[in-house]
Homo-oligomer: A and B are copies of this chain.
């Protein structure tokens, strides 16, 4: 797992300025083990930086994605970001639809998938969606 300092020094070693906002952004993603939409990020950051503008959020999300710090995933509701997984083992995710938290799945289905010899596989996606314990409890309570 990556620390905030590692993220920050990765930014500075790539010629990027380490601003307050970027440090906060790193902290936010470091402390969130789930997906965040640009809007989520804007709202969180907005609590600290009153004059914050959406375009800076987008710019920094993009910069951090290009740096490999964040990864971007498309959901039905739109784009979301999370810290790029540093685990070396290839893995997939269970994703909670309530809170967005993710949990790793070690098992990779590709090993057992019969692919015709004339189809050249480039990448694959395996995602399990549902509710984590606490979100399931909340659902039940409503």
The smallest beta-carbon distance between A93 and chain B, in angstroms, is: 11
A64-105 residues at the B interface, CB under 8 angstroms: 74-76, 94, 96-97, 103, 105
Task: Using CB atoms, name the residue of chain B closest to A126.
Answer: B126
Q: Count identical subunits in the complex.
A: 2
The reply to whether A112 and B107 form a contact with Cβ atoms under 8 Å apart is yes
The smallest beta-carbon distance between A51 and chain B, in angstroms, is: 32
The reply to whether B136 and A129 form a contact with Cβ atoms under 8 Å apart is no
Measured between alpha carbons, how far is A136 from B115 in the docked complex, in Å?
14
Q: Given known contacts A120-B130, A125-B129, A126-B126, what 4 new A-B pairs fall within 8 Å (CB)?
A: A105-B113, A121-B129, A124-B128, A125-B126
The reply to whether A119 and B131 form a contact with Cβ atoms under 8 Å apart is yes
Number of residues in A with C-beta < 8 Å to the partner? 34
The reply to whether A120 and B113 form a contact with Cβ atoms under 8 Å apart is no
Task: Using CB atoms, name the residue of chain B closest to A106.
Answer: B114
29 A-B residue contacts at CB 8 Å? Answer: A74-B75, A74-B76, A94-B121, A96-B119, A97-B122, A103-B116, A103-B119, A107-B109, A107-B112, A107-B114, A109-B109, A109-B112, A110-B128, A115-B128, A119-B131, A119-B133, A119-B136, A120-B131, A121-B128, A121-B129, A122-B129, A122-B131, A123-B129, A123-B130, A124-B126, A124-B127, A125-B125, A126-B126, A126-B127
